[in-house]
Amino acid sequence: MKVFILAGEPSGDKLGGALMAGLNGLETVEFAGVGGGAMQAQGLESLFDMNDLSVMGLLEVLPRIPKLLRRIKQTVAAADAFAPDVLITIDSPDFCLRVAEKLKVLHPDLKVVHYVAPSVWAWRPERAEKMARHVDHVLALLPFEPPYMTAAGMSCDFVGHPIVAEPQPSPQETAVFASDLGLNVQAPIVCLLPGSRKGELSRMGPIHAEVTRRIADQVQDVQFILPAAGAVVTQAEKMVRGWDVRPVILDPRGLTVAQSEHRKRMVFGMSTAALATSGTVALELAAAECPMVVGYKANYLTTRMVKKLAQIDTANLINIVTQTREIPEFLFDECRADKIAPALLALLKNDAVEQAQKLVCAQTMQALGLGGADPGVRAARSVLAFLGRD
């Protein structure tokens, strides 16, 4: 079987690597396309460096448009020459779906599978109908997504979220790591997650600084740790120098991605609670059963756009999956230290609040596929079933 597969960012490469491993275990497959290290480890020779496609934000994208258009043209030509049995696109719709559209013009009968359903339940529901013009089958990460896709005219399977396949460190390993960092697991530990991008740190840093000061005033022996993303670790170090209460900075420099991720999971495991910037990190915290408070502050234009287009009243996937509002959120104008600190204090001082959060975290992991087949294998089986090769 010949599979042309595309990913445009690290999260997609990770999904692609697991899917390719699943396919390799079930079929004899020849791969071509674009991907990163995880996909290359499964036999893909990438057409070009996947990082050419990893661009965030309108201002960053604009000067890269000519190169992106060349990469789309190059990818379409390569797929046309490869003559695949199926095209699999993974997230990154601005790149992947443009390639799918052009290939469908050349080969109307080409089977196209897209991995990661667009979050039409949150905003811009018209994206599903638009995607259905070029996509036949969708692999969904969330259990409630298939009906949205089938309503738009595509078949869809829930294949599980990759978070459930992430290995969690043992309590013993976590305790040793905490000791190495100079932290006492018998006292409260608060994990600070102000974001992984420079703009997020600039906006969230002052809020985290004030929250830590308020918490330290009211919780004896509380400790703070900030696992910094590699791209912003220098900024994080400079940022905390002016704080009244300085956290331990977890520096990922010099480590592999796998080592850095494992250390971060140990931090989540040792933490009593976390203050997180809104995003997928909430699921990582849930996997470690670490209670959390979520805050997010965006620039003016993003704030106005999200408020106008949002279809739901929560951005947290734990709240969405469990249909609760157990995870406190303070978004945009509500993202203030005087609102966040009391919610975080409740987690540190009220066992009932803490246990209620741990319960919905566990329920979320079960709903996302914990205890079932590996999501990569489930995704592979879904692809083969769709192609009639199961």
Which tens digit of pLDDT belongs to each residue from 142-184? 999 999 999 999 999 999 999 999 999 999 999 999 999 999 9
Instruction: Answer yes or no: is pLDDT of 1 > 70.
Output: yes
The values of phi and psi at residue 247, to 5°, are: -80, 160
Number of H helices and number of E strands within the chain? 17, 12
d(CA 271, CA 321): 23
| pTM, full prediction | 0.87
- pLDDT, residue 57, reads 42
Q: Which amino acid is at 307?
A: K
d(CA 170, CA 95): 39
215-234 pLDDT tens trace: 999 999 999 999 998 889 99
13-58 pLDDT tens trace: 999 999 999 999 999 999 999 999 999 999 999 999 988 886 544 4
The domains found in the chain, sorted by start residue, are 2-161+371-386 (3.40.50.2000), 171-367 (3.40.50.2000)
Tokens of 332: 């945009």
Instruction: Judge whether 102 and 74 are in contact, CB under 8 Å.
Output: no
- pLDDT, residue 67, reads 82
- pLDDT, residue 226, reads 97
